Amino acid sequence: MKTIEQIAAELQGYDPKSLSAAQVNEFLDRLVDPVADVETVSVFNALGRVLAEDVISPISVPPHDNSAMDGFAFEGRQLVRDQPLRLRVAGTAYAGKAWQGAVRAGECIKIMTGAIMPAGMDTVVPLEFVRIEDEDIEIPANVVQPGDNRRLLGEDLMEGRAALKKGDLLGPAAMGLIASLGLPELKVFRRLKVAYFSTGDEILSLGEPPREGAVYDSNRYTVFGLLHRMGIEVLDMGVIRDEPVALEAAFRQAAERADAIITSGGVSMGEADHTKAMMKQLGDVAFWRIAMRPGRPMAVGRLDQTGHPSILFGLPGNPVAVMVTFLAFVRPALQRMMGSRATPPILLKARCGEALRKKPGRTEYQRGIVTTEPDGSLKVRITGNQGSGVLRSMVEANGLIVLHHHQGHVAAGDEVDVMMFDGVI
């Protein structure tokens, strides 16, 4: 396990007083490791979990050639271009059992969706395409080609091949896929445990009466929501006063119980509190000033109280800065700790509805509202006041406009990258 100093030495141009967003993610990728513990869960309990091993298909899906729709199955080589085809109906094939019998030249079988294709049949004409006369059908010229409307054995999954890969994050479609293989349970990595607390004498918990100079703690609830969306087990430790004894107890308890610790507040340069001092005392911690807006100060490191270090993320105190640094840095790191192979969120291109001022040399995340124009293109506008304490702007926004490190001013109509919130927040 490399120390913070050793990891820093591996990063080209590392400067804790001016780290780029890319350097932060590169550092965190080297700092964290996936959990090793594995457990077995049922398919119904697999949503949001991460696969601990490849899922090998025990069967082929579908297990036989079958019809993709209701219609008539026949041998496709009988089709002649620009000529209709007349066939006699020799029977009916239903889903769930094989049709018994032989089909002669000039004959077809009425077939239902999902029914096994009778021997020698390779094409299905949809029911609505044909003209039926007594026991015969006529297929108009050129409405189907040989092989149409037939699902092939194993075209979804072939027996013996990997259906899902280790590290896959399981969504609803994956749950259905696992069930389609007849597998009632699977192995996943255990849930990540993350402890969280807010720091500061000015922070009020819900239920406390207002007092001058104090604010109610919103970070505790946004961080809980962000972690819960990731399927993480959250250890809520409330608000910790800026007192050495209380902070030490909180950090020690969190390190004993959790894989990672998230705090908000107390990491800015020149803070007159004890949070940074306690982090230094109890762990191997780096304090950064990131070239970004919002969310410049951040602390990262390890606290080790049990021989199994907990990863520490010390986030800024302002509500929007907490959410942005979580989405940009903490979430990808936690995904890696969960064992997930998830990639960073896809950035969509949208035309900016207004000019944005931006200095090269830092990454800016501006709250944006993305809409679809009549021509189908995407347009984005900012929510207004971009202050790091304006939490309302995160509610109004449906994504973050990402203005990259080397990017300068944006003119109205220019394309910008947008990190959409849907599926993330």
Helix (H, G, I), strand (E, B) or coil at 74: strand
Answer yes or no: CATH 1.20.272.10 is held by domain 66-151. Answer: no
Mean pLDDT (whole number) for 20-38: 96
CA distance 17 to 289: 5
Mean pLDDT (whole number) for 89-112: 93
Contact 328, 365 (CB under 8 A): yes
In sequence order, what DSSP letters do the residues of 194-261 get, joined into one string?
EEEEEE-TTEEPTTSPP-TT-EE--HHHHHHHHHHHTTPEEEEEEEE-S-HHHHHHHHHHHHHH-SEE
* Confidence (pLDDT) at 269: 59
CA distance 121 to 290: 66
Tens digit of each residue's pLDDT (9 = 90 or more) over 373-384:
999 999 999 998
Residue 425 CA from chain centroid, whole number = 10
Residue 272 predicted with pLDDT over 60: no
What backbone phi and psi angles, to 5 degrees, belong to 301?
165, -160
Tens digit of each residue's pLDDT (9 = 90 or more) over 310-356:
999 999 989 999 999 999 999 999 999 999 998 888 899 999 999 99
* Confidence (pLDDT) at 273: 60
Residue 17 predicted with pLDDT over 60: yes
Mean pLDDT (whole number) for 68-93: 96
Mean pLDDT (whole number) for 241-245: 88
Contact 275, 289 (CB under 8 A): no
Task: Write down how long the chain is.
Answer: 425
Tens digit of each residue's pLDDT (9 = 90 or more) over 226-240:
999 999 999 999 999
**CATH fold label, 39-60+156-189:** Molybdopterin biosynthesis moea protein, domain 2 (3.90.105)
Residue 371 predicted with pLDDT over 70: yes
* Confidence (pLDDT) at 367: 96
* Confidence (pLDDT) at 266: 78
**CATH fold label, 347-420:** Beta-clip (2.40.340)
Mean pLDDT (whole number) for 299-304: 94
CA distance 101 to 103: 7
Residue 273 CA from chain centroid, whole number = 36
Sheet-wide strand order for 71-74: 123-126, 71-74, 107-111, 85-93, 136-139, 131-133
Residue 80 predicted with pLDDT over 60: yes
Quick check: bond before 294 cis, omega within 30? yes
Which among 223, 258, 285 is positioned nearest to 35, based on CA atoms? 258
Helix (H, G, I), strand (E, B) or coil at 128: helix
Which of the four pLDDT bands, split at 50, 70 and 90, describes residue 304? confident
Which architecture, in CATH terms, is 4-37+191-337?
3-Layer(aba) Sandwich (3.40)
In sequence order, what DSSP letters do the residues of 304-351 get, joined into one string?
-SSSSPEEEEEE-SSHHHHHHHIIIIIHHHHHHHTT--PPPPPEEEEE
Q: Where are the domains of the chain?
A: 4-37+191-337, 39-60+156-189, 66-151, 347-420
CA distance 76 to 120: 9
Q: Higher confidence at residue 187 or residue 306?
A: 187
* Confidence (pLDDT) at 423: 67
Residues 344, 349, 351, 356, CA torsion sign: positive
User: What average pLDDT does the structure give for the chain?
Assistant: 93
Cα-based distances in Å from 296 to 18, 87, 407: 9, 75, 18
Residues 285, 290, 295, 297, CA torsion sign: positive
CA distance 201 to 181: 55
Residue 194 CA from chain centroid, whole number = 18
Contact 334, 194 (CB under 8 A): yes
